[in-house]
Every structure is written in structure tokens, then in C-alpha cells.
């Protein structure tokens, strides 16, 4: 079980950040790699004059973007939230921005206080790719959204989702409550919105790739019943590329009005 003990003498902050993940090796710090966490902690250490520790609600992978990432950050320095926001944004790279800051309670933890997450995946479904939609998965062949929407009914709900989990996961439980998948199309831009209490490693991208295979007629909609029950990643569809995925919002009552 995670420890929520507060460290004595530390000040705690809750941040909302957004970023273009294109040139980053994901959220989490890694030796010799440029990550969102390393850039944020480096800027915060300059502002506060002390080393900081941060935790994100969603540990996004390489190339994945965020509009509403929640981060808790602790440091032995006190700084007014508004000034902290402005100071951080003056130091952060242009593809990372802090959009909200407030003081947090001792023991606050973005990862464990989150009650749910919302992701959006974007597809550009036109014959020609667009230079203005680099953060969209370009699929030239027309997708049958009727088939894709029909397939959704077989996987929403509380299930064991290991069939859609990539290798390398450290999560013990494979049970997630996938509350909804909404699919919309606006002029060839297809958006898949996912809401769940939690997601497994690359689960959104693997479900998206599978639904795309349904939309292309490669997988029957009701085949998702057997894929889910089989609990075998090899039986599901492809993995959608990372650049089309956005962490849209973190849900959690403990985060207050900042979200």
C-alpha cells in the first residue's frame, strides 16, 4: 500500500500542467533522457532554491501529450501560488506550461488521490495527410464508425483488460472500470474519448488500434468479446501511435476547484 505520510517541514503544491510530448521520453525521469518530470523539477528547483519531489496523476509515455495533467510537488520552501505559476512558466520550455497552482494538503498525492482519468485519441481520416495535424494518427482509408461504435458495447464496463495491456506493466490488478468510449467525427477528424477509473499500460492505444481494425473491416465488432475474455494481447489489434493521444483530464474530489 502507498504511504501518505507527510514529510515534516515541506510545503506542498498542486499543479495543473499541459504539454506537447513530442520531444520527450514521457513523464517519468529517466537517466540521460529529457522528460516532462525532469524539466518541471529543474524549473521548480530554480524558483524555490531547493530540490523538489513531484508526482503525476498520469505517467504518460513517450510522445503522449496532456491538457490536464495533475502534479503534486513538495519542497522545503514557501512560495505564493500565483507567483510560483508565473515563475515556472518563465523557465519551462515552450512546450510545457503550468495552467494552475494552489497549496495542497500535507500527504496529497496526485497519483493516489485521482479517482479517474479521461483520455482522447485523435485520428485524421482523410486521403491526404495534413501538416497542421501532426498530432493526429493519419489513416487514409475510410473508417466505418458504425462498426467501431458497435464494438464499444462489448468492452465498456468493469473487466479484466489484460488483453489490451502492453508488456512492461508493473500494475498487479488488471481490473478497470471503463465507463465510456465516445466516438465522434468532425470533418474527417475522429475523436475517441475514454473515461475510466484507471488504465493499464498502453491500454488506450491498444483499444484504439483494435477499434481502428474494426473500422477497417479486419476485426468483427463482436470479436471483442472473445478478445477480452481471452486475456491475450496477441489476439487484439495493433497499438495506435503515441502522438495522437492526449491526457485530457484527471478526476478527483480531493483536487478541489483547480480542475
CA end-to-end distance (rounded Å), the chain: 26
Residue 246 near residue 208 (C-beta atoms within 8 A): no
> What would the DSSP string read from start to end of 57-115?
SS---TT-EEEEEEEEEEES----HHHHHHHHHHHS-TTEEEEEEEE--TT--HHHH--
Residue 110 near residue 56 (C-beta atoms within 8 A): yes
CA atoms within 13 A on the CB side of 159: 22
The two beta strands, 65-75 and 245-251, are: parallel
* Cα angle, residue 195 at apex, residues 191 and 196 outer, rounded to 5°: 150
The two beta strands, 116-124 and 96-103, are: unpaired
Is 61 marked active-site? yes
Contacts of 209 (CB under 8 A, 6+ apart): 236, 237, 238, 239, 240
Query: Which cell goes with 256?
Result: 478541489
Question: Residue 120 and residue 60: Cα distance in Å, rounded?
Answer: 13
Selecting among 61, 95, 144, 213, the annotated active-site residue is: 61
Catalytic machinery residues: 61
Amino acid at each position: 500500500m502507498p504511504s501518505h505520510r507527510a514529510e515534516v517541514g515541506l510545503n506542498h503544491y498542486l499543479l495543473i500542467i499541459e504539454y506537447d510530448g513530442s520531444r520527450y521520453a514521457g513523464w517519468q525521469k529517466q537517466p540521460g533522457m529529457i522528460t516532462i518530470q525532469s524539466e518541471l523539477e529543474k524549473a521548480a528547483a530554480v524558483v524555490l532554491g531547493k530540490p523538489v519531489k513531484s508526482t503525476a496523476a498520469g505517467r504518460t509515455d513517450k510522445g503522449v501529450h496532456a491538457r490536464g495533467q495533475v502534479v503534486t510537488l513538495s519542497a522545503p520552501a514557501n512560495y505564493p501560488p500565483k507567483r510560483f505559476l508565473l515563475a515556472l512558466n518563465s523557465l519551462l520550455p515552450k512546450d510545457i506550461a503550468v495552467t494552475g497552482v494552489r497549496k495542497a494538503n500535507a500527504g496529497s498525492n496526485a497519483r493516489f488521490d485521482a479517482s479517474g482519468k479521461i483520455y482522447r485519441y485523435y485520428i485524421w481520416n482523410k486521403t491526404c495527410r495534413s501538416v497542421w495535424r501532426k498530432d493526429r494518427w493519419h489513416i487514409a482509408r475510410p473508417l466505418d464508425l458504425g462498426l467501431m461504435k458497435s464494438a464499444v458495447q462489448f468492452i465498456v464496463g468493469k473487466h479484466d483488460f489484460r488483453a489490451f495491456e502492453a508488456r512492461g506493466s508493473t500494475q498487479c490488478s488488471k481490473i478497470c472500470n471503463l465507463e465510456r468510449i465516445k466516438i465522434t467525427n468532425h470533418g474527417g477528424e475522429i475523436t475517441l474519448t475514454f473515461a475510466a477509473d484507471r488504465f493499464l499500460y498502453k491500454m488506450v492505444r491498444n483499444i484504439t488500434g483494435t477499434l481502428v481494425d474494426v473500422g477497417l473491416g479486419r476485426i468483427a465488432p463482436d470479436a471483442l468479446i472473445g478478445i477480452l475474455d481471452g486475456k491475450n494481447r496477441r489476439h487484439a489489434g495493433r497499438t495506435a501511435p503515441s502522438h495522437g493521444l492526449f491526457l485530457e483530464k484527471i478526476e478527483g474530489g480531493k483536487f478541489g476547484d483547480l480542475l
